[in-house]
Amino acid sequence: MGGFLKRIFGRTPPVMPVVEVDIPPLSVPDCVAVIGDIHGCATLTRQLIERVNAQHPEAHLLFVGDFIDRGEESADVLKMLMDMPDATCLMGNHERMCLDFLDNPEERGARWMRNGGLQTVASYGVSGTQTELTKMRDALAVAMGDHTINWLINRPLYAQFGNLYAIHAGADPQAAIEGQGEKPLIWGHPLFRKQPRTDGQWVVHGHTIVDQPMVEQGRVSIDTGAYATGVLSAAVFAGADVAFLQAKL
């Protein structure tokens, strides 16, 4: 290939250098347990919370979003999380899709239904078809109630503990997380998994399924596809240390 390009352009294209970034160590002042994408798996969530509480009773619990959809127990998951006022629960893209459906069912409903919304609707005892989206929205809004809907609306986009940020999907590695807005934080950014941050901040996230929770260049990935694999994962941070816990069906 290099010879072919040289014949055409008269020179061999330069090889892009690999940028090595010296990632500062974690510095998390208190113990925090970050739990990955739940996706309607209430049974696994209870098991994992019990495991975290047994091994790290001092840990603050944080959930990275995508509490609903795909799994069959979304209503139970939301009730469980809402009954834990001391926990931090972030906004995920599936919560956003649900809220978009409630706001504009005809334009936003089909997409949500294709991505697990039907399971969430069914978990609230609401039936319907994609040709009855407004009726479905009306019934779901009644079943969920204003308290649950307002709770979803008010989910934060990120949380910070020392030099660790918890977000749902990713972030632009070239910009401060605080100013990025919703889209990159709940849907991801094309450079997030390709380029490490250079500001000394670590990021723990879900959204992208991995076979096992992993640490790579200041990124800690913890979505192990609970709804499909039966494995829900958490990362426990304290000081400069990170450890993983899992619940399995």
Distance CA 170, CA 73 (A): 26
The pLDDT of residue 199 is above 50: yes
pLDDT 10s digits, 169-182: 999 999 999 999 99
Residue 131: pLDDT band by 50, 70, 90 thresholds?
confident
Can you give the pLDDT at residue 130?
A: 61
Average pLDDT, rounded, for the chain: 92
Distance CA 68, CA 140 (A): 14
The pLDDT of residue 225 is above 80: yes
Q: Structural domain boundaries of the chain?
A: 22-91+157-248
Write out the two tokens for 214.
Answer: 């992993």
CATH number of 22-91+157-248: 3.60.21.10
Contact 119, 70 (CB under 8 A): yes
pLDDT 10s digits, 94-130: 999 999 999 999 999 999 999 999 999 999 999 876 6
Percent of the chain scoring above 70 in pLDDT: 91
Write out the two tokens for 10.
Answer: 């008269």
The pLDDT of residue 1 is above 70: no
pLDDT 10s digits, 38-70: 999 999 999 999 999 999 999 999 999 999 999
Per the rule left: phi > 0, alpha: psi between -120 and 50, beta: everything else, 234 is beta
Q: Which residues are CB-contacts of 9 (< 8 A; sequence separation ≥ 6)?
A: none
Print the SS3 string covering 19-39. Answer: CCCCCCCCCEEEEEEEECCCC
Can you give the pLDDT at residue 127?
A: 85
> Taking Cα atoms as reference points, which of 203, 222, 205 lies closest to residue 214?
222
Can you give the pLDDT at residue 8?
A: 38
- Residue 232 host element (H or E): strand 231-239
The pLDDT of residue 12 is above 60: no
State mean pLDDT over 25-30: 95
> pTM for the full model?
0.90
**Amino acid type, 176:** A
Task: Label residue 240 exposed, middle or buried (CB < 10 Å: 0-12, 13-18, 19+).
Answer: exposed
Can you give the pLDDT at residue 31?
A: 98
> Taking Cα atoms as reference points, which of 103, 225, 209 lies closest to residue 152?
103
Can you give the pLDDT at residue 104?
A: 96
> Taking Cα atoms as reference points, which of 40, 165, 164, 159 lies closest to residue 91?
159
